């Protein structure tokens, strides 16, 4: 297969990838994007496989089949587990980049030291540092999201944590620089693995101090790293398709991370080095306030008499697997001619867009899913705001209390609705450990219990008179 | 020093050309992704993930070329990791996108 043919296929594949992302701009065309992506990928793989330099086929076939065997079940996980799967795939992406970088270095060291130019060496070092830190960092993130027992869920902090982490990274960078200058020195092959180990360690230490509420940002940042490690691989292999596809992935991760940070009113540095969990422990003590509990019957009656209901879902809805019950409630209200909207906060859940996917899975039309910025002006006209497993994203302290750790974070103005029902599992504070003034507001009524059960009871209450069941 | 001469003679790794491609591709990425529907940020992440597994083309060369077995083994593991991302990434993206509907008929029971 000629060089020109391969390059041509790569150009077509690049165009298909750009179209794939372009078609994601609306759900109506998004599935076309998947087909474009698959087509581009298939073309690129076949063109590469047909290159004359590829002479052994056995291992390729085995690895491809193994990838299918592992990949298919990974695509069938429940949608509540999508954040973990995503983190895991960033880990695989980082691993692939790290391994190819390592392979190329030792290959050229043995068979063509003249290839180890300063530029290539910089690219290789960047590739392995980014690749391996993304590998362990994403594994840690996946473990935290999956709530694996031996990985602490709460942020782990210790004195001089940031200094230690940055020192590690600095040592890796300096060692890398030494290799760039002397890529073929006698000590070089022994020092190369040191960088790998440092990067692996740095990835673990980077994620240890990060708590669950920060996961959407962290996943987006790891996404950007995985993309950039692919770019570095493209520089190493002189492959423009890799550079382009990696840049697309990297910019996607960057944009998502920026959106997540804005939605929390925090900076990158603050998420990565801020150890959010620390601040709140000092804050959790406030004077005793009283919740007003409401019965299912009472809540049902108020819901029946409203014209506009806004449901505000949070991670708690995913944990309780309540989205299908929410859909039944949606149907019951719709049947009575009541308008129902869902107010989605950008950081609700454990990854960008998490709530939208869960609600779409429950067959709720995406036209009823409304962004925070669009719903907030309408909140004063809302009869009932139903908070399902959300906490910090509806906490009015973010608007008013300068001392609050979440001060300045944009929130959904649930407190402006005429009545608020908040479903809460227990009387303990939420994930961030911050008291929520919304729960003590005059117009707020608490529905205590598991979100799935509470909404199930509400549905029963509402359907009781209609004779449908 | 010979390495410099050798580098000049080696199959030209066009540094500036690559950087050019990287910068332009990043701008295209920022432009295209800024317009992606906020509803679809989860599927966006899974599809960009699958697309960046294009790293598979590098792994194919390393695994399939006439290199020492240890090198090819590293490539093989990378190839497996990339293929896993491609398969699971595209499949789960499509699975999620299928769920986004404009109009759905009310159901009167729970989910089967």
Closest CA to A438 of A458, A413, A457: A413
**Taking residues A377-392, what's their average pLDDT?**
91
Identify the domain containing residue A215 by its residue range.
77-278
Which of A23-37, A419-433, B13-27 shows the lowest mean pLDDT across its residues?
A419-433
What pLDDT band is residue A288 in, cutting at 50, 70 and 90? Answer: low
Return the structure tokens found at A294.
């409401």
Substitution target from B5, B39, B65 for chain A, most A beta carbons within 10 A: B39
Both A242 and A314 in one domain: the answer is no
Spatial separation of the C-alpha atoms in residues A132 and A95, rounded to whole Å: 6
**Taking residues B55-75, what's their average pLDDT?**
93
ipTM: 0.89
Active site residue A373: no
User: Residue A135: inside a domain, yes or no?
Assistant: yes
User: Residue A53: inside a domain, yes or no?
Assistant: no
**Taking residues A265-286, what's their average pLDDT?**
58
Indicate which residue of A214, A392, A415, A435 is catalytic.
A392
Chain B: nearest CA to A73, how far in angstroms?
8
Which parts of A328-443 are beta strand (E)? Answer: 339-344, 369-371, 384-388, 419-424
What pLDDT band is residue A15 in, cutting at 50, 70 and 90? Answer: very high
Both A319 and A439 in one domain: the answer is yes
Last residue of a domain, one of A244, A278, A312: A278
What are the Cα distances from residue A316, in Å, to A263, A293, A340, A346? 19, 19, 20, 15
Is there a contact between A446 and A346 (Cβ–Cβ < 8 Å)?
no
**Taking residues A39-66, what's their average pLDDT?**
94
* Residue A282 pLDDT exceeds 50: no
Both A248 and A316 in one domain: the answer is no
Both A244 and A304 in one domain: the answer is no
CB pair distance less than 8 Å for A56 and B14: no
pLDDT digits (tens, 9 = 90+) for A410-423: 999 999 999 999 99
**Taking residues A443-448, what's their average pLDDT?**
88
* Residue B6 pLDDT exceeds 50: no
Closest CA to A115 of A196, A194, A183: A183
* Residue A284 pLDDT exceeds 70: no
pLDDT confidence of residue A389: 85
What pLDDT band is residue A397 in, cutting at 50, 70 and 90? Answer: confident
- Kind and range of the H or E run holding A440: none
* Residue A234 pLDDT exceeds 60: yes
β partners of residue A422: A387, A446
CB-CB: which of B44, B75, B96 is closest to A103? Answer: B75
User: Residue A132: inside a domain, yes or no?
Assistant: yes
Spatial separation of the C-alpha atoms in residues B75 and A101, rounded to whole Å: 9
- The residue among A268 and A419 whose pLDDT is bigger is A419
Pair type for strands A339-344 and A308-313: parallel
Average predicted confidence (pLDDT) for chain A: 88
CB pair distance less than 8 Å for B39 and A369: yes
Both A236 and A322 in one domain: the answer is no
Is there a contact between A389 and A313 (Cβ–Cβ < 8 Å)?
yes
* Residue B8 pLDDT exceeds 80: no
pLDDT confidence of residue B62: 94
**Taking residues A311-328, what's their average pLDDT?**
90
Angle at A10 between CA A63 and CA A19, to 5 degrees: 100
Both A257 and A173 in one domain: the answer is yes
User: Residue A291: inside a domain, yes or no?
Assistant: no
Both A259 and A155 in one domain: the answer is yes
Spatial separation of the C-alpha atoms in residues A378 and A367, rounded to whole Å: 16
CB pair distance less than 8 Å for A100 and B3: no
- Kind and range of the H or E run holding A411: none
Percentage of residues in chain A with pLDDT exceeding 70? 93
Q: Reduce the DSSP state of residue A307 to 3 states and report it.
A: coil
Last residue of a domain, one of A218, A246, A278: A278
CB pair distance less than 8 Å for B48 and A371: no
Both A302 and A433 in one domain: the answer is yes
Return the structure tokens found at A227.
């993309």
Both A248 and A320 in one domain: the answer is no
Q: Which residues does A241 contact at the CB level (< 8 Å), separation at least 6? A: A10, A13, A14, A44, A234, B54, B57
Spatial separation of the C-alpha atoms in residues A219 and A84, rounded to whole Å: 9
Please give the distance of CA B102 from its chain centroid, rounded to a whole number.
30
Total number of domains constituting chain A: 2
CA atoms within 13 A of residue B13's CA, in its CB half-sphere: 21
Task: Nearest chain B residue to A58 by CA: give it.
Answer: B64
* Residue A280 pLDDT exceeds 50: no
* Residue B104 pLDDT exceeds 70: no
**CATH code (residue A366):** 3.40.50.1220
CB pair distance less than 8 Å for A246 and B89: no
Both A117 and A165 in one domain: the answer is yes
Spatial separation of the C-alpha atoms in residues A196 and A189, rounded to whole Å: 12
- Kind and range of the H or E run holding A107: helix A82-111
**Taking residues B97-106, what's their average pLDDT?**
78
- The residue among A406 and A342 whose pLDDT is bigger is A342
CB pair distance less than 8 Å for B61 and A25: no
Which of A17-31, A149-163, A412-426, B3-17 shows the lowest mean pLDDT across its residues?
B3-17
* Residue A25 pLDDT exceeds 50: yes
Return the structure tokens found at A332.
């019951």
Q: With contacts defined as CB-CB under 8 Å, which chain B residues touch A328?
A: 107, 110
pLDDT confidence of residue B105: 58
pLDDT digits (tens, 9 = 90+) for A157-211: 777 888 888 899 899 999 999 999 988 888 988 999 999 999 999 999 988 888 7
Q: Reduce the DSSP state of residue A115 to 3 states and report it.
A: helix
Both A269 and A192 in one domain: the answer is yes
pLDDT confidence of residue A208: 86
* Residue A142 pLDDT exceeds 60: yes
Query: Using H for helix, E for strand and C for coil, what is the string for B11-60?
Result: CCCCHHHHHHHHHHHHHHHHHHHHCCCHHHHHHHHHHHHHHHHHHHHHHH
User: Residue A92: inside a domain, yes or no?
Assistant: yes
Spatial separation of the C-alpha atoms in residues A16 and A30, rounded to whole Å: 13
pLDDT confidence of residue B3: 46
Best-predicted range by mean pLDDT among A151-165, A286-300, A392-406? A392-406
User: Residue A401: inside a domain, yes or no?
Assistant: yes
Q: With contacts defined as CB-CB under 8 Å, which chain A residues touch B39?
A: 27, 353, 356, 360, 366, 369
CB-CB: which of A21, A243, A328 is closest to B22? Answer: A243
User: Residue A54: inside a domain, yes or no?
Assistant: no
Pairs across A and B, CB distance < 8 A? 404
pLDDT confidence of residue A403: 79
Specify the pTM: 0.88
**Taking residues B52-63, what's their average pLDDT?**
93
Q: Reduce the DSSP state of residue A214 to 3 states and report it.
A: helix
CB-CB: which of B7, B95, B97 is closest to A27? Answer: B97
pLDDT confidence of residue A114: 86
pLDDT confidence of residue A465: 56
Pair type for strands A384-388 and A308-313: parallel
Task: Nearest chain A residue to B54 by CA: give it.
Answer: A242
CB pair distance less than 8 Å for A92 and B82: yes
Closest CA to A391 of A347, A333, A443, A356: A347
CB pair distance less than 8 Å for B60 and A54: yes
Chain B: nearest CA to A93, how far in angstroms?
6
Last residue of a domain, one of A220, A246, A278: A278
Both A262 and A355 in one domain: the answer is no
* Residue A117 pLDDT exceeds 60: yes
Is there a contact between A431 and A391 (Cβ–Cβ < 8 Å)?
yes
User: Residue A42: inside a domain, yes or no?
Assistant: no
What pLDDT band is residue A92 in, cutting at 50, 70 and 90? Answer: very high
């Amino acid at each position: 297969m000629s060089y020109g043919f391969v390059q041509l296929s790569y150009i077509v594949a690049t165009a298909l990838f750009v179209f794939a992302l372009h078609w994601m701009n609306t759900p109506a065309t998004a599935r076309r994007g998947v087909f474009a992506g698959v087509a581009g990928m298939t073309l690129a793989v076949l063109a590469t496989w047909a290159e004359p330099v590829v002479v052994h086929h056995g291992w390729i076939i085995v690895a491809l089949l193994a990838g299918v065997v592992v990949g298919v079940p990974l695509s069938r996980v429940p949608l509540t587990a999508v954040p973990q799967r995503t983190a895991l795939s960033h880990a695989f992406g980082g691993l692939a980049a790290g391994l190819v970088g390592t392979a190329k270095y030792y290959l050229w060291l043995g068979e063509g030291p003249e290839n180890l130019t300063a530029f290539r060496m910089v690219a290789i070092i960047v590739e392995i540092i980014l690749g391996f830190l993304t590998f362990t960092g994403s594994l840690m993130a996946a473990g935290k999201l999956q709530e694996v027992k031996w990985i602490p869920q709460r942020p782990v902090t210790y004195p001089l944590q940031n200094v230690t982490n940055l020192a590690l990274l600095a040592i890796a960078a300096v060692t890398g620089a030494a290799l760039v200058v002397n890529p073929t020195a006698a000590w070089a092959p022994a020092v190369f693995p040191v960088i790998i180990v440092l990067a692996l360690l740095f990835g673990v230490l980077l994620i240890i101090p990060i708590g669950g509420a920060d996961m959407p940002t962290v996943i987006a940042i790891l996404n950007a790293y995985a993309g950039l490690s692919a770019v570095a691989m493209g520089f190493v292999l002189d492959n423009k398709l890799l550079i382009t596809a990696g840049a697309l992935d990297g910019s996607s991760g960057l944009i998502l991370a920026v959106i997540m940070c804005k939605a929390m009113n925090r900076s990158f540095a603050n998420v990565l080095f801020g150890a959010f969990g620390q601040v709140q422990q000092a804050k959790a003590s406030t004077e005793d306030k009283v919740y007003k509990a409401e019965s299912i019957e009472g809540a049902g009656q108020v819901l029946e008499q409203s014209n506009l209901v806004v449901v505000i879902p949070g991670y708690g809805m995913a944990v309780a697997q309540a989205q299908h019950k929410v859909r039944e409630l949606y149907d019951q209200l719709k049947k009575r001619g009541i308008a129902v909207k869902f107010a989605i906060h950008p950081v609700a859940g454990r990854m960008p867009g998490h709530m939208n996917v869960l609600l779409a899975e429950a067959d709720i039309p995406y036209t009823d899913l409304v962004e925070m910025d669009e719903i907030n002006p309408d909140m004063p006209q809302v009869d009932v705001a139903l908070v399902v497993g959300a906490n910090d994203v509806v906490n009015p302290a973010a608007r008013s209390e300068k001392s609050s750790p979440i001060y300045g974070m944009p929130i959904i103005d649930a407190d402006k609705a005429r009545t608020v029902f908040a479903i809460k599992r227990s009387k303990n504070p939420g994930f961030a450990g911050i008291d929520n003034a919304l729960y003590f507001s005059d117009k707020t009524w608490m529905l205590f219990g598991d979100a799935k059960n509470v909404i199930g009871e509400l549905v029963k209450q509402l359907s009781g008179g209609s004779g449908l069941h | 020093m010979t390495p410099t001469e050798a580098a000049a003679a080696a199959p030209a790794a066009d540094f500036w050309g690559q950087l050019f491609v990287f910068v332009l591709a990043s701008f295209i990425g920022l432009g295209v992704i800024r317009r992606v529907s906020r509803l679809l940020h989860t599927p966006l992440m899974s599809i960009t993930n699958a697309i960046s597994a294009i790293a598979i083309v590098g792994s194919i060369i390393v695994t399939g070329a006439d290199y020492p077995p240890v090198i090819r083994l590293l490539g093989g593991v990378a190839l497996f990791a990339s293929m896993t991302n491609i398969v699971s990434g595209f499949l789960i993206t499509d699975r999620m996108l299928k769920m986004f509907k404009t109009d759905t008929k009310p159901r009167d029971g729970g989910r089967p």
